[in-house]
């Protein structure tokens, strides 16, 4: 993947894109669905372990889950943004935390990775065209340190290394978890990087969403 220095003329765009990404985490986790919807391009697409589809559908299923007590939190770290004209690729370090019961034991799953965002300028604002998380590694911890949480090792091993504990928890909660999502290495993330490069070079679409 090419390296590109951010020119001074891009800095305002970089700051605007970083603000969109920060607002995504705050507004989604707070259940501020009206403002959350303003961050997406009309053709926006979201891929997650438990959902793959148009952003408008993601907003509705997230709202439904939130109202039912599903709690998934997002924490953001550093970012890298490449801007070419009215397009950009943003990578942002992130941590996903989900709390739920697993085998009747309340636990937290913490999953570390990156948000990989295909961005486009729409009028005077930057919008998310496609969001593809990259799942690097995760763990699961009972809330009660004295509790014993026995996971089925065969079931656990069926899920990708980068998000296997998150997938285990979500499947316990009744979600269908998609396999083969990008991790730190492998063909899926290599393909994603190539799609990002093509997007900056003017491709007709932001790759092929998973």
The pLDDT of residue 18 = 97
In terms of pTM, does the model score above 0.85?
Answer: yes
Residue 167 burial (CB count, 10 A): 26
Handedness of CA 60, 65, 66, 68 (dihedral sign): positive
Q: Which residues are within 8 A (CB) of 187 and not within 5 positions of it... i.e. 6 or more apart?
A: none
The pLDDT of residue 7 = 53
Q: What are the strands, taking DSSP E only, across 103-189?
A: 105-122, 125-142
The pLDDT of residue 1 = 47
The residues spanned by each domain of the chain are 8-200
Residue 61 burial (CB count, 10 A): 15
How does pLDDT run across 92-117, given as a tens digit for each residue? Answer: 999 999 999 999 999 999 999 999 99
What number does CATH give the domain 8-200?
3.10.450.50
Q: Which residues are within 8 A (CB) of 68 and not within 5 positions of it... i.e. 6 or more apart?
A: none
Name the stretches of the chain with pLDDT < 50: 1, 5, 8
Q: How many angstroms separate the CA atoms of 38 and 19, rounded?
A: 13
Q: Tell me if 200 sits within 8 A of 89, measured CB to CB.
A: yes
Residue linked to tokens 């730190």: 184
Q: Residue 203 corresponds to which tokens in the numbers above?
A: 């491709």
Q: Counting every residue, how long is the chain? A: 210
């Amino acid at each position: 993947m090419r390296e590109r220095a951010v020119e001074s003329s891009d800095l305002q765009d970089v700051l605007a894109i970083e603000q969109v990404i920060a607002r995504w985490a705050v507004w989604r986790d707070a259940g501020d669905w009206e403002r959350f919807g303003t961050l997406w391009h009309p053709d926006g697409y979201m891929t997650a372990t438990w959902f793959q589809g148009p952003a408008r559908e993601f907003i509705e299923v997230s709202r439904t889950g939130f109202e039912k007590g599903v709690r998934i939190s997002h924490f953001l770290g550093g970012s890298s943004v490449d801007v070419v004209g009215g397009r950009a690729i943003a990578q942002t370090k992130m941590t996903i935390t989900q709390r739920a019961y697993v085998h009747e034991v309340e636990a937290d799953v913490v999953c570390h990775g990156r948000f990989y965002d295909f961005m486009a300028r729409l009028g005077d604002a930057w919008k998310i065209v496609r969001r593809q998380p990259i799942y690097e590694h995760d763990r699961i911890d009972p809330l009660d340190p004295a509790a014993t949480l026995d996971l089925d090792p065969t079931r656990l091993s069926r899920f990708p290394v980068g998000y296997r504990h998150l997938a285990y928890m979500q499947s316990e909660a009744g979600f269908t978890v998609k396999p083969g999502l990008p991790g730190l290495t492998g063909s899926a993330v290599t393909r994603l990087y190539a799609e990002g490069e093509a997007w900056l070079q003017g491709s007709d679409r932001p790759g092929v969403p998973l």
